[in-house]
Structure 1
């Protein structure tokens, strides 16, 4: 895998502005999970209320993602992204005001999360067109790697920032910070110049069908999506059952915290590696790396020694960090620009849809047979699906050369 000698896209003004806005919004978003959980639990004392609020964000996102992909292709991706940044700025600011008032109302927070989830469904598919529209083909992987590094770094820094804000000034200010990050991101997007792609005018249904046709006619794409969906379902199983295994068999809370931190640094290391190396068979290499997620699942099922389990999770997250930029670059180069948002929306949709399944089935299976069986089943699913893509001709043939 030769090192990439392409000049870094951050030297380009438009991508630098896009990247800066992305970094700020990612960091703002990274503080929200902890702040939202604490705020809802303090206001209601109910985990069911927290589940309701989380569902209010996830359900509209799942339902509207395909329409978000159509909008991203049919209209200017920059305009869609800018508008959604402003919507999410308003929603996060409203939640922050609710919390700072000292009398938050559950139905207001839930309604705001519905609007925020819908905005996310339209914003997410614009990511790939925006990168492709601001960076030349030769620099795509380095640009995607930079975005991956930003995402990984926010995963490392976010919890610490969230804890600092919550303990010092309160959870409400975390939402105000996130709102400010979206406002700055929108302002920066105003100055970004993106290459405009003209998509043919069709009906909404025709656009959805064309997007799906772009997916199903590429065997390397849809078979990889099966593996990626299996990974997301397996990740939900691990995040549901892993904490209990760590508490009961691996040494307690400190082990689980270290487990997550090593994983966050592994994700960052994988993104950094993607900035420097370009495999000749990118889809094959990325999917094989993703298959390593089976290792920590099996080790957790066996209650293997904590250092071995933690190291395996770190390695698996390196594979995930490397896959992101490599996969995104391959898709941006292979899929026609006028269909890119729709194709990536189907990617997001399948990934998100698998996670509720893992969250729902894992505790039921664990209560019936113990945590070992669902953890092993998840390992077989993610390892088998990702390794099986090596049998697909399109995966093996997809080459950067």
Structure 2
């Protein structure tokens, strides 16, 4: 029964991930064609970032208070309505920047509730021994969707206009919502405390595990450096490697690398999975350094495939370690702290990219940031828990209530 629930969830999420690609293209095209330009688009993106930072931790608390699929359904409903509103705005030539910023913030805020709930739900849907395979499957589907979604969205928006892209995204949220409504698994929920108390409880759960606390701080440093890199490599690709077509080839290589990394995670299942994950993350600097030397398109493409394969394998290892060793009733809050470090650090790196490149030169900044990527992953191998953590076995895993008995406690 749980396996069929997992397939249902995977199908709904794949459609939603593809739909997000449609909205990404539609939003940029709609703002530019409405005369907004880069300034307006930047404000819309900033509104989304602020909403993400403001809502993520609270999303984790509610994911642990309610049945996670209920939180997901509510989030999908809100995002469906905001996508419909965006479609109506641009279909009627009624562009208002303040309204678009508000809609973007509401949509992203809803997503901040969805993500921790999704993280809390996944381990309930498969047996312990299949968690790594399930995480690898979802990573493969998400990576593929991130390539296919914008490509299909570009074709659709070019043919039918930006409103069509928003409409497709709204339908994808409907598909995700229906899938979540059909899930039969239930999580056991305990008594509630104050919001601040539950947030603090989630942080205590992190701080008593050296591999988890070290990983979050390491990820913060990693994402600041990666935020710088992601801005600068776009400039290098367009100015030095062949323009927009080169950027497209590199993006495709990154997607291919992610799919390969997930495919490896489906097969390669070491007992010390987290240690293997940190080792594969050491491949990511090769991608950044390829822009510096030999600075040829073919080398960058190869670096992107190798680096992103390592990144996605690490993501699978990290998610599996959290699911194995954090109690299910705490997964939403722990996941929300994990998401927050990423979303807080990445924009900081994005903002620093331009000033650093102007002051020191693009190649020097890329080289230093690649070294930061390497060190932030390598230092994790000095943490005893990260080196020694082993996959949990079915007999020692925290039990989950059978679907037919669940639902008698909690909301």
Instruction: Tell me the TM-score normalized by structure 2.
Output: 0.92
- In structure 1, the residue matched to 2:35 is 44
Deviations along 1:328-381, whole A, 9 cap, x unmatched? 111111001111000010000001111111100011111122111221221111
Kept in 1: contact 2:64–2:332 (CA 8 A):
yes
Structure 1 residue runs without a partner (length 5+)? 1-8
Please, which runs of 5 or more residues in structure 2 have no aligned partner?
393-411
Query: Is 1:236–2:227 an aligned residue pair?
Result: yes
Give the equivalent residue in structure 2 for 1:89.
80
CA contact (8 A) 1:302 1:372 kept: no
Aligned to 2:238: 247
User: 3-state SS of the aligned residue for 1:57?
Assistant: helix
Partner residue, 2:338: 347
Tell me which of 300, 305, 311 is aligned to 2:296. Answer: 305
Residue of structure 2 aligned with 1:192, choices 162, 183, 207: 183
Q: Is the 8 A contact 1:234 1:379 kept in 2?
A: yes
CA distance in 1, matches of 2:229, 2:376: 17
Structure-2 separation of matches of 1:226 and 1:377:
19
> 1:310-330: per-residue Cα shift (whole Å, max 9, x none)?
211210100112122221111
For the pair 1:66 / 2:63, whether they are aligned, the reply is no
Residues 88-121 of structure 1: CA distance to partner in whole angstroms, max 9, x if unpaired? 0001111011111133222211110111111011
Among 264, 272, 277, which residue is 1:273 paired with? 264
> How well do the aligned residues superpose, as a CA RMSD in angstroms?
1.6
The residue aligned with 1:213 is 204
Partner of 1:17: 8
- Secondary structure, counterpart of 1:31 in structure 2: helix
Residue-by-residue CA offset, 1:178-206 (whole Å, 9 max, x unaligned): 11111121112111012322123211111
Between the aligned partners of 1:278 and 1:294, the Cα distance in structure 2 is 24
CA contact (8 A) 1:293 1:382 kept: yes
1:59: how far off?
A: 0.7
Range that drifts further, 388-397 or 280-289: 280-289
Report the Cα distance in structure 1 between the residues aligned to 2:224 and 2:251, rounded to whole angstroms.
18
User: What's the offset of the Cα at 1:396?
Assistant: 0.8
Partners in 2 of 1:188 and 1:312 — Cα distance?
A: 37
In the TM superposition, what whole-angstrom CA distance separates every residue of 1:258-300 from its partner, at most 9, and x where no partner exists?
Answer: 1111111101111121122212221111112112211122221
- Map of 1:102 onto structure 2: 93
For normalisation by structure 1, the TM-score amounts to 0.94
Q: Is the Cα–Cα contact under 8 Å of residues 227 and 287 in structure 1 kept in the other structure?
A: no
SS in 1 for 2:291: helix
Task: Give the total of aligned pairs.
Answer: 392
Query: 2-side partners of 1:166 and 1:65: how far apart?
Result: 31
1:3 corresponds in structure 2 to none
Matched with 2:396 is none
Q: Determine the C-alpha separation between the residues in 2 that align with 1:303 and 1:109.
A: 43
Q: Which residue of 2 aligns with 1:227?
A: 218
Q: Which residue of 2 aligns with 1:333?
A: 324
Distance 1:203 1:170 in 2: 47
Work out the CA distance in 1 between the residues paired with 2:385 and 2:233: 35
Give the whole-Å Cα distance in 2 for the aligned partners of 1:224 and 1:45. Answer: 40
